[in-house]
Structure 1
Amino acid sequence: MAEQNEVPQAARAVSIASPTNLVLLSLFIVAVYLRFRPRSPLKLPPGPAPVVFRTFTPTTLLPYNGTNGAPIYIAIRGKVYDVTPSRHFYGPGGPYENFAGRDASRGLACQSFDEEMLTKDLHGPLDDLKDLTPDQWENLRSWEERFQEKYLVVGKLVAEGDPEAPKS
């Protein structure tokens, strides 16, 4: 008779509150909490102020030569690039320091870093580069492509007295 009162192994009720189920439930709750918990707002790391696109003349571009920690801007064919990340090249003491705060178009086209390649009369018209040879134009385009890939355009260069020139 004892055999008839015995419940078969498969028919026994298994408790849902087994230790394994409780551990799995706890892990599930933690995972859901971590996924949907409130997050603190993202903070931008401190850094330089944003640069606003603006119009420069040769005289207003000149102070951006890297001295006293100033940013370094270089103009090529009317576009002004922020080359500050390459301060070791364009800043004081660098091999291209003559171009800092200036229009470097002619010097880059002629592959010359001499000061005579820079515009002497900052109040005169911009260099139209009409006398460049086809090879010099190709060289200038190559430099311009490198600058466009690597540096941020922060403005444009216009002659003094141009209607777009900033008012002093």
Structure 2
Amino acid sequence: MEYVEHRMNDEAVKAAASAGLVSPLNILLLSIILYTGYSTFFAKTSYPQLPKPPPPVVFKTYNPHTLLPFNGENGAPIFFAVRGVVFDVTPGRNFYGPGGPYANFAGRDATRGLACGSFDESMLTKDLDGPLDTLADLGPDEMDALRGWEERFTEKYNIIGKFVSMKDFEELGKKE
């Protein structure tokens, strides 16, 4: 009889030992370990990436001839000048690029046209080699309108240079 009791005890110990390994807690722990190992070594995680910064702005001196090619045609950037300041208005290509309502200002001095609220070709300086428009004949209302445009452009677009006459540009070149 002693043999039977001894044998029953051995079987009970084996059953208890094997049941302990397959408990719900052990299954949960094994699942967590497997998931962590998989996600660490095999899962491809994509981390958010910052957008590329815009290209650096190079401040240059422009004259009527060097500004003219920046009219947005053939994918070129769009620049124009307002009272001696050159703005990069390329982000507003729909307005200032080819076919836009302000397209005639692209690559040109837009000061008089903006001050007068006119988009006609007659507002643009015809003599590219002559002096810049002094705006001496404009009234206070037109100058206020021009200041409003300047504020808008300064807030919205990058200033990339200054705009000078051909005479001043040539004198700057001699100094350098």
Q: TM-score, normalised to structure 2's length? A: 0.68
What is the letter of the counterpart of residue 164 of structure 1? L
- CA deviations on 1:101-158 (whole Å, 9 max, x unpaired) are 0000000000000000000100000001111000000000000000000000000000
* Structure 1 residues 159 and 74: CA distance shift in structure 2, 3 A: same
Count of equivalent residues: 155
Distance 2:70 2:79 in 1: 5
Cα deviation code 1:23-65 (max 9, x no counterpart)? xxxxxxxxxxxxxxxxxxx8863x7643310000011100000
List structure 1 runs of 4+ shifted beyond 4 angstroms: none
| 1:69 matched to 2:67 | no
Specify which of 158, 162, 172 is matched with residue 164 of structure 1: 172
3-state SS of paired residue (2:113): helix
Going by fraction, where is helix more abundant, 1 or 2? Answer: 2
Look up the equivalent residue of 2:97 and give its one-letter code. Answer: G
**Unaligned stretches of 5+ residues in structure 2:** 1-48
d(CA) in 1 for partners of 2:66 and 2:163? 9
Identity of aligned residues (%): 65
Residue 102 (1) aligns with residue 108 (2): yes
SS of equivalent residue, structure 2 residue 172: coil
**CA 1:141 to 1:63, structure 2 compared with 1: closer, same or farther past 3 Å?**
same
Distance 1:166 1:77 in 2: 24
Q: How high is the TM-score relative to the length of structure 1?
A: 0.71
Letter of the 1:93 counterpart: G
1:151 aligned residue (133, 141, 157): 157
The reply to whether residue 134 of structure 1 matches residue 140 of structure 2 is yes
Do 1:158 and 1:164's aligned partners in 2 also have CA atoms closer than 8 Å?
no
Cα deviation for residue 161 of structure 1 reads 1.9
Quote the Cα distance in structure 2 between the aligned partners of 1:133 and 1:146: 20
Tell me the C-alpha RMSD between the 2 structures. Answer: 3.8
Choose from 121, 126, 149 the match for 1:120.
126
1:30 corresponding residue in structure 2: none
Tell me, in whole angstroms, the C-alpha distance in 2 between the residues paired with 1:150 and 1:123: 30
Q: Distance in 2 between matches of 1:43 and 1:66?
A: 28
Secondary structure, counterpart of 1:155 in structure 2? strand
Structure possessing the higher radius of gyration over alpha carbons: 2
The 8 Å contact of residues 131 and 167 in structure 2, kept in 1 or not, is answered as: no
Secondary structure of the structure 2 residue equivalent to 1:81:
strand
